[in-house]
Amino acid sequence: MHSKSEILTNIQNNPVVSVIRGESAQESYNTAEACINGGVKVIELAFTAPHADETIASLSEKYTDTDIEIGAGTVLEAETARIAIISGATFIVSPSFSEEVAKICNLYTVPYIPGCLTPSDVQSALTYGSEIIKLFPGSVVGPQMISELHGPFPQVKVMVTGGVSLDSLQSWFDAGANIVGVGGQMVGPAKNGDYKGVTKNAEKFIKGTKALHLIA
C-alpha cells in the first residue's frame, strides 16, 4: 500500500476519478475494470453498491503494487470508513464532512476527501486534516465557486463531483479544480452491460485531460 503522501500525489497526477455506483458487485467490478482499461487510474467505488467492501478488496488485491488507486465513496460514518480501509481502500470520499470519518482516516493515515459546499465545510475539513476537498454538487454551484473558495482558502485542493462532462472539463480546470470526479457521464453504459462503452468514455476523458496538459 502506498503512503498517504504517495496516494495524494498519485490522485493529483491522475486528475480524473471514476465514480462507480453499480447495481451489483459484478457490475461494479466490471465497470471499474472498464474504466482502468480506458486509462483511468483512480477509482471511487460508492458504498451504495452491493458488497462494495468485497469489490474493493478484489480490485485492491489485483492492483497491488501498481499506480492504480482504489478508493471508497459515499462513506457516511466511521464504521464504513474502517471497513473500507481494512478492505484495501487507499482513500475515502464522503458527500459531506464528518468529524468521525476524518478521525478514523487520520488514525489509519488514509486520505479523506469530504464533500463541501460552504466555507464552513471547507474550514472544518482543513482543520481535521483533509488536503483535498470534494466540491459537491458541482452542478449546483458552478466553476466560479472554486475561485471564490480560493480567496479565503488559497491552499485547498479541490475535486469537483457532480455536473462534470467532457464539454465542461476545461471550465472546471480553468477555474482552479485539481481533480474531477466523473460518474454517469463515464460509466452510464454499464447499466446496459456495455463495458466497451465505458472504456470508450474513459478514453475520451483521459484524452481531454491530456489536451489540457494535465497529464502526460
| Domain 4-214 = CATH 3.20.20.70 | yes
Render pLDDT for 139-171 as a digit per residue (tens, 0 to 9).
Answer: 999 999 999 999 999 999 999 999 899 999 999
CA neighbor of 130 nearest in space, from 161, 155, 150: 155
Other CB atoms within a 10 A radius of the CB of residue 215 amount to: 13
Active site residues: 44, 134
Render pLDDT for 181-215 as a digit per residue (tens, 0 to 9).
Answer: 999 999 999 999 999 999 999 999 999 998 887 77
Over the chain, what is the mean pLDDT? 95
pLDDT, mean of residues 96-107:
97
Q: Which three cell numbers stand for residue 99?
A: 468529524
pLDDT of residue 1: 64
Q: Which three cell numbers stand for residue 108?
A: 489509519
The answer to whether the pTM exceeds 0.85 is yes
Asked if 71 and 45 touch (Cβ cutoff 8 Å), the reply is: yes
Cell 465542461, residue located: 168
- Angle, to 10 degrees, between the axis of helix 78-87 and the axis of helix 99-107? 30
Alpha-carbon distances of 11 from 14, 15, 18, 120, rounded to whole Å = 5, 6, 11, 25
Each domain of the chain, given as residue ranges in start order, spans: 4-214
Band of residue 16 on the pLDDT scale cut at 50, 70, 90: very high
pLDDT of residue 163: 86
